[in-house]
Amino acid sequence: MTDTQNTDTGAPQPLAGLKVVEFTHMVMGPAVGAILASLGAEVIRVEPIGGDRTRRLIGSGAGYFPMYNRHKQSICLNLKDEDGLQIAKKLVDQADILVENYRPGAMDRLGLDYETLSATNARLIYASEKGFLPGPYENRTALDEVAQMMGGLAYMTGPPGQPLRAGSSVIDVTGGMFGVIAIMAAVEERHRTGRGQKVQSSLFETTIYLIGQHMAQMAVTGQAAAPMPARISAWAIYDVFQTKDDPVFIGVVTDALWEKFCKLFELDDLWADETLRANNVRVQSRDRIMPVIRDLISSYTRDELIEKLEGTGLPFAPISRPEDMFDDPHLLASGGLEQVEMLNKQTAMLPVLPIEMDGKRPGSPSKMPEIGAHSDAVLTSLGFDQSEINKLKADGAVA
């Protein structure tokens, strides 16, 4: 256990005892390791000499490394050097799980493919996070945005004719989550068989799973799903409404909530129309209902409206920005954020896994692993003495 891991004894650590070696970059692969590490697994991240270039991304990529590399150890290896490669193989020989998300064939060319590594570690679970599962597309280079465009998610997100990617790396992260599901299924199967296996998840197929509801809509109705901004909603009131100052989303998704909504806002005329008490009629009458509702909501400030809706059971949401979440009272009170020491030594509060186990949230204060910060400790655990470590560093195999 190291200072980068979850050492808070009050936090759940169901994966304690599992050792993970990670050969990853960007988001998808690191997200797999981040989830495993947050649940107590020991995750050793193998970085190239000089560190993973993801550490140095700017713009929208500046948050990738701190978000998905907490609670991990870092060792820097030159995998093109025979000594560095042999150290990597020794690490994997002692591991339960390997995670990689390099381009197809990259690990094979290094001799770090599943067939080679499982020959000396039959219990190894080898998780490959790729752009595509095996098939005609498998050798294409994919990114989150590529998958969103190919898989129909960007089409569904933007207005008609204006495909738009979602506002975060949803496919990278969700694809990583599916990778964790596959790993955990393989761990459970290993309990019965004693053997590991290779598992894969991918960006493209993850996207297809997410838009499956729209495919099913086509199958049920015979009509293609319209992009979300142009969709015919399943409910009459399911939209963003402008208050005197800031907008608020409100959804009225059942007939019982329609009654509650009408009574809460004293919409006696609408409630008196008994035909509107059925959801599908309200949808068909949306052009008549919505101007009344918009006019009503515009008479409130955002805070007044939230105060009125709070505790009623009606779905609502202020329109927030990511930076608003640092001060969100619910997250602060419920343990939804953890303190992280960033690479610049400043601290920030970042999200923990959105789960609870036995009444407790995972997560504890942590810090970003410096480049190669754990190289000496990892090598010592593999049986190297300090003179051997010094020589490996001098030869450029390790940093």
Domain contains 177: yes
Query: Given a cut of 60, is residue 2 above it in pLDDT?
Result: no
Select the more confidently predicted residue: 205 or 3.
205
Question: pTM for the complete prediction?
Answer: 0.94
Same domain? For 69 and 151 the reply is yes
pLDDT digits (tens, 9 = 90+) for 337-351: 999 999 899 999 999
Same domain? For 41 and 184 the reply is yes
Same domain? For 60 and 174 the reply is yes
Same domain? For 29 and 132 the reply is yes
Same domain? For 168 and 50 the reply is yes
Domain contains 79: yes
Among 73, 68, 66, CA closest to 41: 73
Query: Given a cut of 90, is residue 4 above it in pLDDT?
Result: no
pLDDT digits (tens, 9 = 90+) for 10-38: 899 999 999 999 999 999 999 999 999 99
Same domain? For 156 and 29 the reply is yes
Domain contains 328: no
- Residue-level pLDDT at 99: 98
pLDDT band at residue 1 using 50, 70 and 90 as cut-offs? very low
Query: Given a cut of 80, is residue 128 above it in pLDDT?
Result: yes
Same domain? For 188 and 132 the reply is yes
Domain contains 304: yes
Domain contains 220: no
Q: How far apart are the first and last CA of the chain?
A: 21
Same domain? For 245 and 347 the reply is no
Same domain? For 205 and 312 the reply is no
Query: How many domains, in total, are found in the chain?
Result: 2
CATH number at residue 186: 3.40.50.10540
Domain contains 136: yes
Same domain? For 295 and 374 the reply is no
Same domain? For 79 and 178 the reply is yes
Dist. CA 203–CA 116, nearest whole Å: 26
Domain contains 14: no
CATH number at residue 292: 3.30.1540.10
Domain contains 46: yes
pLDDT digits (tens, 9 = 90+) for 362-372: 988 999 999 99
* 136: containing domain: 19-210+335-394
Residue 370 has what DSSP assignment?
P
pLDDT digits (tens, 9 = 90+) for 259-308: 999 999 999 999 999 999 999 999 999 999 999 999 999 999 999 999 99
Six token digits for residue 299: 């008479």
